[in-house]
């Protein structure tokens, strides 16, 4: 789970680098990336981070570490994803809305 999460996040971040778009959350992107990992999930970097936290919880084999991925996912959604989706719709218009209809937020 840990390795899978890291791999997903790294592959997705490299896709941003290849097209030269901004990777900083809550800032305007110059390109709409919809291929590779982004063809399967709209948030592969966030998904990778959550998978790393789930992998860590599995390794620790205790109940309390499961609070971390749950809380982190909630923070991602309420603090980042909602705002980023609005910014993407504003920046890329119909192209983003069509992408949003085709590809799920997580998996």
- So where are the chain's domains? 2-102
pLDDT for the residue numbered 98: 98
What global pTM score does this model have? 0.93
- Higher pLDDT: 49 or 26? It is 49
pLDDT for the residue numbered 88: 96
What pLDDT band is residue 22 in, cutting at 50, 70 and 90? confident
pLDDT tens by residue, 41-98: 999 999 999 999 999 999 999 999 999 999 999 999 999 999 999 999 999 999 999 9
Residue 107: is its pLDDT beyond 90?
A: no
Which residues fall within 8 angstroms of residue 101, CB to CB, at 6 or more apart?
A: none
pLDDT for the residue numbered 58: 97
Question: In angstroms, rounded to a whole number, what is the distance separating the alpha carbons of residues 104 and 9?
Answer: 17
Report DSSP state, residue 27.
Answer: S
Q: Averaged over 8-36, what is the pLDDT? A: 93
């Amino acid at each position: 789970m840990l390795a899978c999460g890291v791999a997903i996040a790294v592959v997705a971040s490299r896709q941003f680098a290849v097209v030269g778009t901004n990777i900083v959350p809550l800032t305007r992107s110059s390109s709409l990336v919809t291929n590779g990992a982004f063809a399967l999930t709209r948030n592969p970097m966030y998904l990778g981070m959550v998978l790393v936290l789930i992998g860590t919880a599995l390794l620790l084999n205790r109940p309390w570490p499961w609070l971390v991925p749950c809380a982190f996912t909630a923070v991602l959604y309420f603090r980042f994803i909602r705002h980023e989706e609005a910014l993407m719709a504003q920046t890329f218009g119909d192209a983003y809305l069509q992408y949003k209809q085709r590809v799920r937020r997580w998996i």
